[in-house]
């Protein structure tokens, strides 16, 4: 899917870089030595003229979108030099923060037609283009993603999680002989996956509660949002980053319940789903002019309405007379924990396509905030329940 001819300069540059590393094993400790053709003085920089000449000579072998972006990089350096390490990274498809800044601040605009205007694409190419316009706000990033995406690996994380949630729901539905509002069944909380305040010492429950849903109406909306929003995001940002946002939202959701709604259990994947969706919606709002997805205002309104209806259902269920008194129905606070993760950690991840997160100061700020919250919640669970002399419902 989305395969394109491999760029000739990429192969040559990577092979040359590997040869240099083999001859000089200590090259990592100093600026990399450039080939004599590019950097005869061994300064660590390449003339933009030579860089442009290389691109022009290989134009027939290099993808036109990628060639256009690389020429824009050459034109953006007013001092006439490009760092050799940036050159090697570019040719091996490793984009750096300096690359993005060079493009954004460059003197040359990308003047060819937009990716959206190209004709004659097959189904897989149209799908990749659609995903690019759904998730990325800059035309440069969209073109780079379109040229580089190979569907290897496929977006396995969100699909696997969704299938597991459906499988556990069906198994539970058959066991309880109930599929609508399963949570009202007297034996529902006996499942070892549910988070229960009396069993909060069983640490796995802070994560495994996502495989238990209140009913088919709860699972249905979460599964649809996971697939419609999570899969495209995973195709662009990769399984590792999307799993990080999702799992962080899930853990934050259960910990938030243990702090703010101490007597209630938790079920459902809404913490992770709300983290992904809120991060995506916030990214669209922050890059409104750059996002070219169709009907974005209408679709944002529909997404917010669906999320509000699901949240309203959770609030109603929480205060509805319980089917297993004195324990109340599951809490709605996990939704809020997921939103908090989405508009902090999630936004930083989605705003930095192919950039190193460790180079972003906001990333470390939000990681520190999340770590402080987790530590606070852990100590709260250890000491607060006893100090407050809180009467918890009996274990199921």
How large is the angle between the packed helices 333-341 and 239-260, nearest 10 degrees? 140
d(CA 75, CA 108): 6
Q: Hey, CA dihedral for 40, 41, 46, 50, is it positive or negative?
A: negative
HSE toward the beta carbon, residue 152, CA cutoff 13 A: 5
Does 335 participate in catalysis according to the annotation?
A: yes
Tokens of 174: 């058959």
d(CA 233, CA 242): 7
Annotated active-site residue in 258, 269, 270, 278: 270
Q: Which residue blocks in 226-326 are alpha helix, DSSP H?
A: 231-237, 239-260, 270-286, 296-319
Tokens of 163: 């299938």
Does 270 participate in catalysis according to the annotation?
A: yes
CB atoms within 10 A of CB 15: 10
What's the distance, CA 370 to chain centroid?
A: 17
Active site residues: 270, 335
């Amino acid at each position: 899917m989305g395969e394109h001819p491999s760029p000739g300069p990429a192969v040559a540059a990577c092979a040359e870089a590997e040869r240099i590393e083999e001859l000089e094993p200590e090259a990592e400790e100093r600026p990399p030595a450039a080939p004599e053709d590019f950097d005869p003085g061994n300064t660590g920089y390449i003339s933009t003229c030579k860089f442009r000449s290389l691109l022009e000579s290989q134009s027939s072998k290099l993808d036109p979108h990628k060639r256009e972006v690389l020429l824009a990089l050459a034109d953006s350096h007013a001092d006439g030099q490009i760092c050799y390490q940036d050159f090697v990274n570019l040719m091996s498809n490793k984009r750096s923060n300096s690359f993005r800044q060079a493009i954004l601040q460059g003197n040359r605009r990308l003047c060819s037609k937009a990716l959206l205007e190209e004709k004659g694409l097959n189904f897989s190419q149209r799908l990749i283009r659609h995903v690019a316009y759904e998730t990325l706000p800059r035309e440069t990033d969209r073109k780079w993603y379109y040229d580089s995406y190979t569907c290897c690996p496929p977006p396995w994380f969100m699909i696997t999680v969704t299938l597991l949630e459906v499988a556990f729901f069906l198994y539970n539905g058959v066991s309880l002989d109930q599929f609508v509002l399963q949570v009202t069944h007297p034996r529902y909380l006996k499942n070892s996956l549910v988070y229960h305040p009396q069993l909060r010492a069983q640490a796995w429950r802070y994560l495994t509660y996502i495989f238990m849903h209140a009913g088919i109406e709860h699972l249905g909306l979460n599964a649809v949002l996971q697939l419609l929003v999570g899969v495209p995001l995973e195709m662009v940002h990769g399984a590792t980053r999307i799993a990080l946002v999702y799992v962080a939202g899930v853990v934050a959701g259960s910990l938030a319940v243990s702090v703010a709604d101490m007597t209630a259990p938790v079920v459902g994947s809404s913490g992770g789903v709300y983290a992904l969706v809120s991060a995506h919606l916030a990214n669209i709002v922050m890059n409104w002019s750059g996002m070219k997805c169709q009907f974005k205002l209408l679709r944002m309104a529909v997404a917010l309405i669906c999320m509000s209806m699901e949240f309203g259902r959770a609030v109603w269920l929480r205060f509805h007379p319980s089917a297993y008194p004195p324990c109340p129905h599951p809490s709605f606070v996990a939704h809020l924990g997921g939103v908090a993760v989405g508009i902090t950690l999630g936004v930083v991840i989605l705003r930095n396509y192919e950039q190193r997160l460790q180079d972003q100061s906001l990333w470390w700020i939000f990681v520190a905030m999340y770590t402080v919250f987790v530590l606070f919640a852990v100590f709260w669970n250890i000491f607060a329940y006893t100090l407050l002399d809180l009467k918890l419902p009996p274990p199921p």
